[in-house]
Amino acid sequence: MEVQQIPIGQIKPSPMNPRKTFDEVELQELADSIKHQGLLQPITVRPSEFYDEVIDGEIVSTPTNYEIVCGERRYRALLINAAGDENYPVLSIVRDLTDDEAFDAMVTENLQRIDVDPVEEAFAFEQLQKRGSTIEEIAVRFGKSTRFVVDRIKLDNLIPELLIKVKDGRII
């Protein structure tokens, strides 16, 4: 694990991130806070693309791009502050993680929030189950009942029209 300043243009959101909803007003508020106080907690990234070069007769792979593991909301706020500057520095913790390890970290970070979207939570629980976790393991890990986890996973299988109503808060 290493902490680095990485140009924002080399950082990309992860398509695996179960969180898909970001409130624009809250992002602007976070951007304003970061502008005045700085980034208080680095984002976590993992190398995603490399180029190879020969150094002292050995082939060395150097990262050229990074994928966000934790901190996409902070990243989006920093994008606002960067105002198109691809070299805008982002304090980042760089970790070498497999896809499974990265997904696990993303799910854990997102499900520990207070305002978890039930549809995103359902998707995350179902993905954890597909990756080999049992209902019981998921329940213990996130401090939920097994019934709650089962019900959330069922939610992920609703027809799209109902999912939209749940996401919009019209059905609870």
Strands 89-94 and 2-7: antiparallel
| Tokens coding 160 | 């799209």
Q: Given this model, what pLDDT does residue 119 score? A: 81
Question: What is the sign of the dihedral through the CA atoms of 144, 150, 156 and 162?
Answer: negative
Q: Given this model, what pLDDT does residue 148 score? A: 92
pLDDT 10s per residue in the chain (172 long)? 789 999 999 999 998 887 888 889 999 999 999 999 999 999 999 998 777 778 888 887 777 899 999 999 999 999 999 999 999 999 999 999 999 899 889 888 877 765 777 888 888 898 899 989 999 998 888 888 999 999 988 887 777 777 677 666 676 5
The dihedrals phi and psi of 98, each to the nearest 5 degrees, come to -75, 170
Which amino acid, residue 144?
K
Strand pairing partners for 47? 66
- Catalytic residue (choose from 29, 49, 67, 72): 72
Q: Is position 26 annotated as part of the catalytic site?
A: no
Identify which of 145, 147, 97 has the alpha carbon closest to the alpha carbon of residue 106: 97
Mapped onto helix, strand or coil, the DSSP state of residue 115 is: coil
